[in-house]
Amino acid sequence: MSRRLLALFLTLGTGVASAAEIAVLKSADAPAWQPAIDALRRGADEHVLTEYDLRGDPAEAERVVAQVKTARLVVALGPLAAQAVRSGAPQLPMIFGMVADPVAAGLANAPNTWGVAFVVPTRNQLAAYRAVNPRAVRIGVIHGDVGARAVADAAKAATVLRLQVLAKSVASARDVPEALRGLLSDHMDALWIPTDPLILAEPTRRFLLSETLKSGRPVYSSTAALVPEGALVSNAPDPAAIGAQLAQLAKRVLSGDGGAYEVLFAPAELVINKKIADKLKIDVPADALKSAGRVF
């Protein structure tokens, strides 16, 4: 018997309304989010979870939200899903995840809303990068509009961390090659890729990883997904920990003990690519390696 059928059987057969219908709306089918979904399922396995992929399409998001209005709870992953639920079904209890900036997404203090912010403070990220690669002090960064706030935060933290942030703003992906050439001419020691959709888009990020490594410089990433692709290090939210937090919130909300609007912050996971460090002749301190959650 499948988990879903078993949950329904226990609910209907015993007369105990313990299993609830939870709709999990994904803004897109992002493989990096799967550990969060798996942890959510493990933590809320007494309930019936059904996943919906919105495919990054606002029209599909509107259709799915109309379809799930009978759910007891919605878990929305990503800004598109969270915003679609709040605008299309404000009466539904919703827990959001994988949203870096809940305020910018219009979710702050919304009724029937709880969540886990998908962000690690910029200062903490830069401190982790410095611990992994102490010799790199001139940090280059290319960003669009979305990444501007993180870059501003980095500039504030740079003095305390004894770093220099070299920033290049771009309006489109076509501007990225010239921006990278400028940073290389400015003798950057490493390139930081922030959480910015323009820069993280597949052709752009692969170009940056390839060309930066060819120049003999490492890449720092705000998401762990780029480390297996060639980034030296990331200090990013741990998706599995986020899933566990989402499950805890789900249990509280379904028990009637959710309280008012609340946002939790996910713990960070340090991920290091030792193969890239060896290739670039970067001597990663032993303490940094010991504190890493994963080493490639």
Q: Give the residue from 152, 183, 179 showing the smallest Cα distance to 166.
A: 183
For residue 291, the model assigns a pLDDT of 95
pTM for the predicted model, two decimal places: 0.74
For the chain, the domains span: 3-119+238-267, 122-221
Could you report the per-residue pLDDT of 91-145, keeping only the tens digit for each?
A: 999 999 999 889 888 999 999 999 999 888 899 999 999 999 999 999 999 999 9
What percent of the chain is modeled with pLDDT above 70? 94
Q: Are domains 3-119+238-267 and 122-221 of this chain identical in fold?
A: yes
Environment class of residue 91 by beta-carbon count within 10 Å: exposed (0-12), middle (13-18) or buried (19+)?
exposed
Which tokens is 278 given?
């060896």
Band of residue 18 on the pLDDT scale cut at 50, 70, 90: low
pLDDT surpasses 60 at 2: no
Q: Which fold does the domain 122-221 belong to in CATH?
A: Rossmann fold (3.40.50)
Q: The domain 3-119+238-267: what is its CATH number?
A: 3.40.50.2300
Backbone angles phi, psi at 243, to 5 degrees: -60, -40
For residue 208, is pLDDT > 50?
A: yes
